Amino acid sequence: QVQLQESGPGLVKPSGTLSLTCVLSGGSFSTRVWWSWVRQPPGKGLEWIGEIYYSGTTRYNPSLKSRVSMSLDGSKNLFSLRLNSVNAADTGMYYCARGPTLSTFEFDSWGQGTQVTVSS
């Protein structure tokens, strides 16, 4: 059973860089699925940030594309998120997820989430 666990600083200063890591256990990076980051501002809905394939190919939400990058390390079973030039609007819960799958585009496993606050 796939399990995902996010980690990273809970507090980031404005204009700084948010860096998070998601460790995968109980599975491996697959050729039939992407790996994504999804965030949720306080009291608001879900927003897809972007995804990375096992090959390293990435796709990002156009609204964040200029500030985001993702990487994957298969040898360590983890993938990472970097978001530059953060501001208060980037505050929220950040989830890593398995998906979207190539057949049904679903996110079938989620991490528990990690809270990130942007504040000086």
Give me the residues that bind other proteins (CB under 8 A), please. 36, 38, 45-48, 50-51, 59-62, 95, 100, 104-108, 110-113
What gap in Å lies between CA 14 and CA 86, rounded to an integer?
5
What gap in Å lies between CA 29 and CA 19, rounded to an integer?
21
Q: What minimum distance in Å lies between the beta carbon of 74 and other proteins?
A: 23
Decide whether 17 or 61 has the Cβ nearer to other proteins. Answer: 61
Decide whether 10 or 62 has the Cβ nearer to other proteins. Answer: 62
- Classified as helix, coil or strand, 89 is helix
Decide whether 15 or 108 has the Cβ nearer to other proteins. Answer: 108
Scanning the structure block, which residue is given the tokens 């939400």? 61
CA angle 43, 46, 49 (to 5 degrees): 130
Q: What minimum distance in Å lies between the beta carbon of 57 and other proteins?
A: 12
